[in-house]
Amino acid sequence: MITFSKPLRKDNHYLRNFIDDQNLSPKIDSILIECKENTGDYRILYANYGVGFNSETLTFVFYEKYKNGCLVRYKDKEIVLENEDYLNRSMEDLEMIIRSKNTTVGFLRLDQNPLDYGEREPINIPKSNEKVDFSLILDALKKKVLEPRTHKIKVQKLMIETNDQREVMKVLPFSDSEFLKELRIFNNVDDDKNKMVEMDEILKLDHLNNFERLEISGCIIPDNCVTKLSHIPYCHIQVKSVNSKDLLFLKNVSHFLQGGF
């Protein structure tokens, strides 16, 4: 156990050694940011998307609030960083990894109800179980990682678990519109399956012109969006209804229908 009395900066040894130990580049091309709001679990995972996700190929880094600072868990280590905010710490670490390795992200997933890849039990310090807020995590990602970049981040596939356009817009506009080919917005909460996801701000982005695949599941989108998405080769969406004019239009767009409308 190592306790630091001063805030660590981006170039401190603990994370640099961690990056070197895990050999994050060039094999790491995927980043998963996950939380369970009710239990307080919050972690960032680094992986090689090409070999699949499991406990052996994923590198887990857990962050949580601890007293007046932040507790970081990775591998068999627990480190307390005094006077550190755990969200800021996690995003500064993430930014350093992306910057130091000049990473192009093949897959970025933001998840409120993550799959179980084999969580690590606390080693010495009991888990706090303090609740985390997914929206605040996205705010920190935007402020600490995405907004300050000179160039927009290159992500090929973006997945975000939400049914709120505002949360999507905290991330999507800061990705390279020419590089991003796939967007998936999904919701796994049964009580919110029929909730409407507004699309007006998303539709204004250049990203829509370059998508090869768009999936919106577990929620519905406004009916008037249907024809505006018909140019995307694979498009899976749900709406409450389609008027006769739009239906006739869609019948003439065979690639749209074959894509899963």
pLDDT for the residue 190: 64
Instruction: Name the pTM for this structure.
Output: 0.81
pLDDT for the residue 120: 54
Taking each helix axis from N to C terminus, what angle separates 86-101 and 134-141, rounded to the nearest 10 degrees? 40
Give helix then strand counts, H and E, for the chain. 7, 11
pLDDT digits (tens, 9 = 90+) for 146-205: 999 988 999 999 999 999 999 999 999 999 999 999 999 998 876 677 788 899 999 999
8 A C-beta contact, residue 181 and residue 154: no
Q: Is 57 helix (H, G, I), strand (E, B) or coil?
A: coil
Domain segments of the chain: what residues? 2-258
**What proportions of the chain, in percent to the nearest 5, are helix, strand and coil?**
30, 25, 45
Which residues of the chain carry a pLDDT beneath 50? 1-12, 19, 22, 25, 255-261
pLDDT for the residue 241: 73
